[in-house]
Every structure is written in structure tokens, then in C-alpha cells.
């Protein structure tokens, strides 16, 4: 918690310092600019290479002030990764995530998503919260395991708000340095067809782990976000991959969703089954889900690089005691309670019905105490056929075990 608070204090308190530094930077750049500027067709001044290099340095400083763990710059060409994306889609590994296939061409070409994009500012925001020990919660089958990224505030909004603040500073910088320079930008965090991991890799803020997630020497407990812009910023170099011979993430995955290094079949991933899948969870995978009711962290919990991870941003601090709640208590939440308690949380995205579906599966995997069986029995006549079917399956597990 302490470390997380420090990050936020820096993000807030740094804003003033940042403004002073930014103004100071403008004076220096203004002086430099005479040497490093061009006149465009309209007769206005635009920036030269050195000025863009200086600007890239300022963007990284502002990013740090806003609480980002790292900022890097990539070009707008992701063609190295697109054949694998297309192959993954062709093999149907995206399952029901139609948006992955529907917007593949936009994902494959940043210039189609935002015309004129020349550079991508890629950012990492860390989230590991101070919470109950993850391994202990996973081992206690009466408790619900919620992925550590989803215990606090919904990251989509938080990351984009911070990136927007960064984009606003950039806009101010451009307006002061070269008012004739046309400026366009858009911010994203898991909110549009963007190949985020590939851009993070290219920008040098992470390498791609064998679990396919972005990874650093400080671990993988971070979110990614981007600013697409028409500015020709100088790209950073990718960093080396440090997975080496390790294959722990492949070996621990409960459903063998990582069936080869860098190959995830989403249809088997617990994150997909508990968050993305709309309908029934395939019966053969239910017992492998254990007590994970929203997402899964196993391929990251086992990763040696996460031993070096510190606490993340305070915005992702645990809410509602969700880090170690009894399954039976969560199963009793009415729809009104679910919506009220989870306002502002990513969990709310799945809706009450799928929430109950997931908890029913976990209760079916829990030890057969009378309290667990009674909790399940209380929803035998739930109005939702989806919930009823999962409750029936869960009760049958207990019957088969002789409870």
C-alpha cells in the first residue's frame, strides 16, 4: 500500500513540478528551434529531428510524473506480428471474441485506425495491489479467487485518463513550439483494435513472455496503453527477451491454454471462460477452473520475474474485500447488490448472471460442506437457465463425491 501511495503522490504532486519543467523546456527548445525547424507549405514553422528527440525525452518525464512505470516510442508498423494474428484468427483461437476478427484490419494497421499515425507512445502502468496471499486464496477452495488486476478500479478508464493527461501536455508543447505543426492523437487501453503487446515490445518497454504477455525484469503485473499520433517521434529500440529456457508458465497453466511457447488458445484460457464467454462453460474445463471466478493469474504467479515486482498504482487498491471473500457470500449477492458494490470495477462488465455462473462452477469444485451445498441449492430455481444448469452441474459434483 505504501509504495502504491507514493506512486500516486508523485503523480499528483509532480504535476506542478512538471508544468514548471515543461515551461523551462519550452524556453530551451525555443532557442534551439531556430537551428532545428523547417518552414511548411503554409509558411508556418514545423519541428526538426532534434526537437522531436527532445520532445520524446519530455514525454517520458511527463509519463513518469503521471505514475507510469515506463514509456517508449514505436513506429506505426506492426506488420511483423500480423501474420500470426491472422493465423490465430483463422484457427478460431479467439473463440467467441468476434471483435478480434471483425476489426483485424484496423488492428494490423495503426494508420487505418487513426489516419496519419506515424508514432505510437506505449505505456505501462503497474497494478499489483496489497492483498491476501494469492497462492493461499487459490489453495482454499471455499474462497473466491479474483484476478489481481480486477480487485480495484477498472483499469480501462484509469489508464486512458492518465494517457489523456499526457496527450494534453503534448498538445500544449506543440502549440507553443510550432503552432503550424498539425497535431492529432488518440489514446487507448484495451479499448480499440490495437496490437498492444507488439507495440510495447517494439517500443522497448517490455519483451513478450512465452505466456504471450508483456514482461520486464520488474515483472508483468502491469496494464498497457497507447497514444497514436501523427508526430514523427524517434522510435526506441526493443529490449532483449529474458525468458531463456524457462517454461514454467506453460507447465502450470491449469487448462493447457498455453499449448506452445507464445501460443495461447483463448478458448481454453480461464480468463476467457470466466470473462469473455457468454454462454455455458464447457463441462470438461469446469473442474480445472478451481475457485477462479474472474480471470486467472497462474501463468504470471509462477513467473520468476514477478518475484521482483513491487506494489502497483494506488488506484488499483483492493475494494470490497474481494481478495479473499467466501464463495458462498458472493453467491448470495442480489443483482442490485452486485451492481452497487461493483460500480467502477471491471468485474461488473460480466453482469450478475455470468457472475453466478462462475461462482456456481467454483462452488462445484469446493469441498462439499453443508454450507456450500445449501448455497448452491438456494439458486436451484434461479430465473436464468444458464445459472440453473451450472448449479445443477455443481450439485451433481457434490452428489458424486457422496455429500
- For ligand B12, the nearest residue by Cβ is 295
Cβ neighbours, 10 Å, residue 381 = 9
Q: Is 270 in the site for ligand SF4 (CB under 6 A)?
A: yes
CA 343 to chain centroid, in Å, comes to: 19
Task: Kindly name the residue from 168, 190, 236, 315 that is annotated as catalytic.
Answer: 190
Is 265 annotated to bind a ligand? Reply is no
Is 190 annotated to bind a ligand? Reply is yes
Q: Is 257 in the site for ligand SF4 (CB under 6 A)?
A: yes
Q: How far is the CB of 372 from ligand SF4 (least distance, A)?
A: 24
Grid cell at residue 225: 496503453
Q: Is 224 in the site for ligand SF4 (CB under 6 A)?
A: no
Is 185 annotated to bind a ligand? Reply is no
- Please identify which residue in 255, 358, 365, 397 interacts with ligand SF4, judged by CB under 6 A: 255
Q: How far is the CB of 321 from ligand SF4 (least distance, A)?
A: 23
Interface with ligand B12 by CB under 6 A: which residues?
81, 84-85, 88, 97, 100, 147, 149, 189-190, 194-198, 208, 211-214, 220, 222-224, 262-264, 266, 269, 271-272, 276, 295-297, 299
298 binds, among ligand SF4, ligand B12, none (CB under 5 to 8 A by kind): ligand SF4
Grid cell at residue 256: 493447457
- Please identify which residue in 67, 193, 209, 368 interacts with ligand SF4, judged by CB under 6 A: 209
Is 302 annotated to bind a ligand? Reply is no
Cβ neighbours, 10 Å, residue 372 = 25
Distance in angstroms (rounded) separating the CA atoms of residues 225 and 326: 33
Restricted to residues 280-339, the positions that interact with ligand SF4 (CB under 6 A) are 296, 298-299, 302-305
Of 315, 316, 269, residue with least CA distance to 294:
269
Integer angstrom CA distances of residue 276 from 8, 95, 137, 330, 355? 31, 9, 23, 20, 12
Q: Are 225 and 173 contacting, i.e. CB atoms less than 8 angstroms apart?
A: no
- Please identify which residue in 47, 159, 187, 249 interacts with ligand SF4, judged by CB under 6 A: 249
The question of whether 241 is a catalytic residue gets the answer no
Q: How far is the CB of 317 from ligand B12 (least distance, A)?
A: 17
The residue whose grid cell reads 520468476 is 304
Is 199 annotated to bind a ligand? Reply is no
Q: Which long-range contacts (CB under 8 A, 24 or more apart) does 109-117 make?
A: 109/78, 110/76, 110/78, 110/194, 110/228, 111/76, 113/186, 113/192, 113/193, 113/194, 113/228, 114/184, 114/185, 114/186, 114/228, 114/230, 116/184, 116/230, 117/76, 117/228, 117/229, 117/230
Q: Looking at 54-62, 112-120, 228-236, 253-261, which segment touches ligand SF4 (CB under 6 A)? A: 253-261
Q: Is 239 in the site for ligand SF4 (CB under 6 A)?
A: no
131 binds, among ligand SF4, ligand B12, none (CB under 5 to 8 A by kind): none
Q: Are 242 and 235 contacting, i.e. CB atoms less than 8 angstroms apart?
A: no
Q: How far is the CB of 278 from ligand SF4 (least distance, A)?
A: 18
Collect all residues with Cβ–Cβ distance below 8 Å to 351 and sequence separation of at least 6: none
Is 224 annotated to bind a ligand? Reply is yes
Is 299 annotated to bind a ligand? Reply is yes
Q: Are 255 and 268 contacting, i.e. CB atoms less than 8 angstroms apart?
A: yes
Q: Which long-range contacts (CB under 8 A, 24 or more apart) does 384-392 make?
A: 384/353, 384/356, 386/279, 386/280, 386/353, 386/354, 386/357, 387/353, 387/356, 387/357, 387/360, 389/280, 390/280, 390/281, 390/356, 390/357, 390/360, 390/361, 390/364, 391/360
Site string for ligand SF4, 21-60 (x = CB under 6 A): ----------------------------------------
Q: Which residues sit in the known binding site for [4Fe-4S] cluster?
A: 243, 246, 249, 253, 269, 296, 299, 303
Annotated binding residues: 107, 190, 224, 243, 246, 249, 253, 269, 271, 296-297, 299, 303
Binding stretches for ligand SF4 (CB under 6 A): 209-211, 215, 243, 246-249, 253-255, 257-258, 264, 269-271, 296, 298-299, 302-305
Q: Which residues are catalytic?
A: 190
The binding site for cob(II)alamin comprises 107, 190, 224, 271, 296-297
Amino acid at each position: 500500500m505504501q509504495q502504491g501511495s507514493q506512486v500516486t503522490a508523485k503523480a499528483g504532486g509532480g504535476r506542478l513540478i512538471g508544468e514548471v519543467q515543461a515551461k523551462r523546456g519550452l524556453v530551451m527548445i525555443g532557442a534551439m528551434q531556430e537551428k532545428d525547424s523547417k518552414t511548411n507549405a503554409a509558411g508556418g514553422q514545423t519541428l526538426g529531428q532534434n526537437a522531436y528527440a527532445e520532445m520524446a525525452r519530455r514525454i517520458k518525464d511527463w509519463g513518469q510524473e503521471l505514475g507510469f512505470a515506463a514509456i517508449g516510442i514505436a513506429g506505426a508498423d506492426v506488420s511483423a506480428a500480423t501474420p500470426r494474428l491472422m493465423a490465430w484468427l483463422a484457427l478460431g483461437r479467439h473463440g467467441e471474441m468476434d471483435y478480434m476478427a471483425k476489426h483485424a484490419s484496423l488492428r494490423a494497421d495503426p494508420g487505418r485506425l487513426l489516419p496519419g499515425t506515424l508514432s505510437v507512445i506505449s505505456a505501462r502502468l503497474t497494478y499489483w495491489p496489497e492483498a491476501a496471499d494469492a497462492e493461499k486464496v487459490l489453495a482454499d477452495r471455499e474462497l473466491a479467487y479474483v484476478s489481481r488486476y480486477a480487485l480495484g478500479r477498472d483499469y480501462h478508464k484509469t489508464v486512458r485518463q492518465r494517457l489523456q493527461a499526457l496527450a494534453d501536455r503534448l498538445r500544449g508543447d506543440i502549440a507553443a513550439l510550432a503552432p503550424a505543426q498539425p497535431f492529432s492523437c488518440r489514446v487507448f487501453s484495451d479499448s480499440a483494435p490495437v496490437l498492444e503487446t507488439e507495440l510495447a515490445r517494439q517500443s522497448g518497454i517490455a519483451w513478450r513472455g512465452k505466456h504471450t504477455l508483456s514482461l520486464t525484469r520488474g515483472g508483468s503485473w502491469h496494464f498497457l496503453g497507447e497514444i497514436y499520433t501523427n508526430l514523427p517521434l524517434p522510435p526506441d529500440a526493443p529490449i532483449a527477451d529474458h525468458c531463456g529456457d524457462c517454461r514454467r508458465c506453460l507447465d502450470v497453466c491449469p487448462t493447457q491454454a498455453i499449448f506452445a511457447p507464445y501460443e495461447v488458445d483463448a478458448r481454453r484460457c480461464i480468463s476467457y471462460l470466466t470473462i469473455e464467454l457468454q454462454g455455458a462453460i464447457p463441462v470438461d474445463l469446469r473442474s480445472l477452473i478451481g475457485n477462479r471466478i474472474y480471470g486467472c493469474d497462474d501463468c504470471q504467479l509462477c513467473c520468476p520475474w514477478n518475484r521482483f515486482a513491487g506494489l502497483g498504482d494506488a488506484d488499483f487498491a483492493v475494494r470490497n474485500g474481494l481478495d479473499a471473500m467466501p464463495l458462498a457470500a458472493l453467491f448470495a449477492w442480489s443483482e442490485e447488490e452486485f451492481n452497487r458494490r461493483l460500480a467502477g470495477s471491471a468485474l461488473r462488465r460480466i453482469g450478475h448472471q455470468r457472475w453466478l455462473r462462475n461462482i456456481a462452477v467454483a462452488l462445484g469444485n469446493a469441498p462439499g460442506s453443508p454450507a456450500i451445498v445449501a448455497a448452491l441449492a438456494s439458486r436451484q430455481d434461479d430465473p436464468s437457465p444458464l445459472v440453473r444448469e451450472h448449479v445443477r452441474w455443481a450439485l451433481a459434483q457434490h452428489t458424486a463425491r457422496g455429500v
